[in-house]
A = this chain, B = another copy of it.
Amino acid sequence: MQKIEGRSLVSEFTIDDLKKAEGGRISLCACVHKLRRMSGFTFVLLRTGRYVIQSVYVPGLCEKTLQGVCEGAYVEITGDVKEEKRAAYGYEITLRDIEILSAPAAEYPLHVSDRVLGCTLDTNLAYRSVALRHPHERAVFRIQEGVVSGFREFMLAENFTEIHSPKICAAAAEGGANIFKLKYFGQDAVLAQSPQFYKQTCVAFFDRVFEIAPVYRAEKHNSTRHLNEYIGLDFEMGFIKDMTDVMQMETAMLRHVMEYLKKNYSHEIEMLGADIPEIGEIPAVTFFEALDILGKERNQFDLDPMDEVKLCEYAKAEYGCELIFVTKFPGQKRPFYAMDTPEDPKLAESFDLLFRGLEITTGGQRIHDYDMQLKKLERYGIEPEELESYLSIHKYGMPPHGGLGIGLERLVMKLLGLENIRQASLFPRDMHHLIP
C-alpha cells in the first residue's frame, strides 16, 4: 500500500511510534488541547486523532515562541521524546519547533480539555461539533466503529454477502403512523423501517446477506432509548433448521465483536471505563416462561421496559450472563412474515435479545412457503396485491430462512453504560433535533 507523502503525519502516529522515538526526535500534527503555563515553562497538551500527548515548551529550546498558539489551534510540532512517568502513556515531548497551521476564531464554549465535559446533554447537543472534541465524547464513536468492524469481519468470515438496499421505498403494506412519508416524483413513498424485504430477497441467491445502514422510525417517543434515525446491523440467512440457528449465529457474532473490541480498542475501553462482557452461551426463555419469571399473568403480548430490566437481572443471577433471549412471542405483536410456531400457531418463531435491561435485537424465522404466506396475510387482513413484488420471492422459491436486526446505538449505549441513547449517536435525530 502506497504511503502518502506530505503533511499527513498525525494519522500515522501511534503510541508505539512515541516509544520507538524515545531519545530521538519526532514530528506530528495535532490540535492544541490545553495550555498550562508554569513558572519557566508551559505544558502543551497535543490532541491527535486518537491520543492526548504531553509536550513541554521551554523558552530557548524551541525555534519559535508560543505566540499565537492557543487552545483549539492546529499545529505541526517537532520535538525530542523522553520517558516521563507522570505523563499520559509515559512519554513527553520537549518542543523544538511549533508551526501554527490554523487558528480558531473563538474560544470553545465548552470545557473540552476538562477531564469530564460536565455539561447537560442539551448543551452537548447544541454545541455538538465542539462537544465531540472532548476525548471521552469522541471515544464513544471509536467504540461504535469497533462494533461495526467486528460485526462485518464476522459476517464476511461466515460467507455473508454485504448488500445495500434502498431507503426510499413504496408506501409499505405494514403501514402505520410510525413511517416518514415523502413524495418521490409524484408518487407516495416512505423511508425504510428496515431492510427486511430486500434482505429476504437476496437470500434467494446469496444464501446469507448482511447490511449496515440507516433505519427510520417516525415514533413520537421522547425516551432515553429511542432515536428516529439509527443504524441497523441486519443479517438474514438461508437453510436454517429453525430460529435457533439465527440465535447461535448472533451469539457467535457478539462474542467475536467483544473480542475484537478488546483487541483493537483497549485505549478507548480504558478511557471510558467500559465493561465489555465475556459472552459464553446466552440463556433463552420462552415468552410465557418469561411471564412466569416476572410473576405476571399469561395474558399480555409483549414485554415492557421494566420487564426487560428484570429479565436481565434474572439472567445475571441465574446464569451469570448479562444477555437473555426471549423466544416464541405471541403472534399478534409480530409481523406477518414471521413463521408460526408449529406446535402452537398463536405463537411466532420470533425472538428478542435483551442486554443489560434493554432489547437490542428482534429476529426470527420467516415464512418461505408461498401458500403459507398467503394464508397468513388473509389472517392479518392484508390484500396480497399490496405486496405483489414481495410475494414474488416466495412464489419463485425461497429456502427456509431467518434473520435479525440489531440497533447499533442501543448496543453501544449498553456496552458503555451511557444513560441516554443520544450519547451513542454522532448527530442524533429525535423529535427535537434536526440540527446539526
Contacts and interface: CB of A to CB of B under 8 A. Distances in A.
Nearest to A237: B8
Contacts of A148: 162, 164
Contacts of A129: 201, 204, 389, 392-393, 396
Given A31-B399, A240-B6, A426-B165, A11 B207 contact: yes
B431 A185 contact: yes
Contacts of A434: 168-170, 184, 187, 189
A37 interface: no
A435 interface: yes
B214 A167 contact: yes
Task: Report the interface size class on chain A.
Answer: 35 or more
A141 B161 contact: yes
A101 interface: yes
Contacts of A73: 397
Nearest to A71: B397
Contacts of A182: 180-182, 191
Contacts of A251: 2
Interface in A234-292: 237-241, 244-245, 248-249, 251-252, 255-256
B11 A158 contact: yes
Contacts of A240: 6-8
Interface stretch (A38-46, A102-110, A298-306, A309-317): A102-110
Given A49-B206, A168-B180, 11 more contacts: A10-B239, A29-B239, A29-B399, A48-B207, A50-B159, A72-B396, A104-B395, A129-B204, A168-B228, A182-B182, A198-B427
